[in-house]
Amino acid sequence: MFIQHKQLKSLNIPAGKVSHLHSSSSSLQLSFAEYSPQLCQAYLLQISGGDKVLVVVAFYLAESQCSIFFVPQFGEVPHKDAEKVYEEGYSFIESMGFDLTETDYHLLSEKKKQSYWAVLPIRQPPAEKAAKVTVPVQKATKVAVPAEKIEPDLKKLRSRSLESLGNLFASM
């Protein structure tokens, strides 16, 4: 069973510590507590350190530009139990609808591992949240707007919406 590790915000570890890495082949829309529903990517990692292994499930939230991490409830495991826990992590991610792809990370040279690892979004610290700007609320007044002025705005909005929908279907 995997539980959310709320203190972990990014994986700031050396590339050489990651012994296996799977990633989702596409993004899915998910909703996590405290975040609006948004497109996410999933990652499954095996991090080795000494005689123990930690399996990590990570989700990168595109809109919020942050990561959410899950770890086994019992934490690190001996190498002999790592494969079983990794398979549980794989099943956990697939149960959310993701298809995972083997990255062959473990077969890369040290230099290629470092460059690959450096650009992964789960390695990056979360984006700074924009400062909230408060705008004074003014009393609403009714203003009559002629239909001729509204019509072009609606046409622009419809056109933009159809274009966005087309882009969405093209990306699938």
68-118: pLDDT as tens digits = 999 998 889 998 999 999 999 999 999 999 999 988 888 888 899 898 989
pTM: 0.71
Res 52 pLDDT > 70: yes
29 vs 142, more confident:
29
Provide the number of structural domains found in the chain.
1
| Domain interval for residue 74 | 2-123
- Residue 119 in domain: yes
- Residue 29 in domain: yes
- Residue 153 in domain: no
Res 165 pLDDT > 50: no
The full 3-state SS of 82-130, as one line of letters, equals HHHHHHHHHHHHHHCCCCEEECCHHHCCHHHHHHHHHHCHHHCCCCCCC
